[in-house]
A and B are shown apart, each in its own frame.
Chain A
Amino acid sequence: RKEVEQDPGPFNVPEGATVAFNCTYSNSASQSFFWYRQDCRKEPKLLMSVYSSGNEDGRFTAQLNRASQYISLLIRDSKLSDSATYLCVVRRNRDDKIIFGKGTRLHILP
C-alpha cells in the first residue's frame, strides 16, 4: 500500500463548479500535511498547508481528519487557471522526509 494515496484522475469539471480531492495517508504518526500544485512540465508549488482545524485561502479549503487519516482539498468557483495536477504531501515527523502522492489531474472545461 502506498504511504500517500490520492483519487485517481483526471477530473474534468466545468468552469464555476466545485471540485473536491481526497487523499489518505497510512502512517498515523504523520504530522504535517500540504497540498502542492503542479502545472504541466513545471515544478510543484505549495498551494497550502493543512492545519488540524482546517483552513481556507480564498476559493480553496483544506481539511484534515486525523482519525480517518484523510486530507481533502475543496476548490469553489473553479477557474480555467485551476487546471493542474494537485499533489497531496505528508511529512511523517519532524525528523523525516516529505512523501508525495501521485497527484490528481484536474481539467477545468470552458
Chain B
Amino acid sequence: EAGVTQFPSHSVIEKGQTVTLRCDPISGHDNLYWYRRVMGKEIKFLLHFVKESKQDESGMPNNRFLAERTGGTYSTLKVQPAELEDSGVYFCASSQGSWREYQETQYFGPGTRLLVL
C-alpha cells in the first residue's frame, strides 16, 4: 500500500513569490492534516480536513496560507505571498476512521522542505 506522498520534496523561492504544496493521502483515508516544522521548533498543527471539509484550521498562521481538498482526495497548501518566516518543513499526514477515536494513528508524508529567500 502506498504511503502519504508529498510534492515537491524541496522548494526554494524568493520572498513574495507563490508556492503550492501537494499532499496525496493514503487511499481511503478521510482525515488529512497539514503540519509545519520551523527550524529549531516543534512540529505544529496547521489544519485538518475530514474529506473535503475543513474540520479545524486554527493552526493556520495567517491569510497568506490557503489549503484546499477538492473532492476529498489530495490536498494543496498554497502560500501567497511567501515570507522569510514561512521557511520550514511542511508535513502532511492522513488517518483512517473516525478522528474522534482517541488513539487514531496518523501516517506522515516525507515532507516538503520550503526555503524562502
Chain A interface residues toward B at CB < 8 A? 2, 4, 31-32, 34, 42-46, 49, 87, 91, 94-103
Contacts and interface: CB of A to CB of B under 8 A. Distances in A.
A98 B45 contact: yes
Q: Report the contact-size class of chain B (Cβ under 8 Å from the partner).
A: 20 to 34
Interface in B36-62: 41-45, 48, 56, 58-59
Nearest to A101: B42
Nearest to B92: A43
A44 B58 CA distance: 22
Contact of B45 (A31, A99, A102): A99
A98 B106 CA distance: 10
Interface of B: 4, 33, 35, 41-45, 48, 56, 58-59, 91, 100-111
A102 B102 contact: no
Given A97-B45, A103-B42, A46 B59 contact: no
A44 B91 contact: yes
A100 B43 CA distance: 6
B100 A102 contact: no
B102 A87 contact: no
A58 B108 CA distance: 23
Contacts of A96: 56
A42 B45 contact: no
9 contacts: A32-B102, A43-B4, A44-B108, A49-B103, A94-B102, A97-B58, A99-B45, A100-B43, A102-B41
A98 B45 CA distance: 7
A100 B102 contact: no
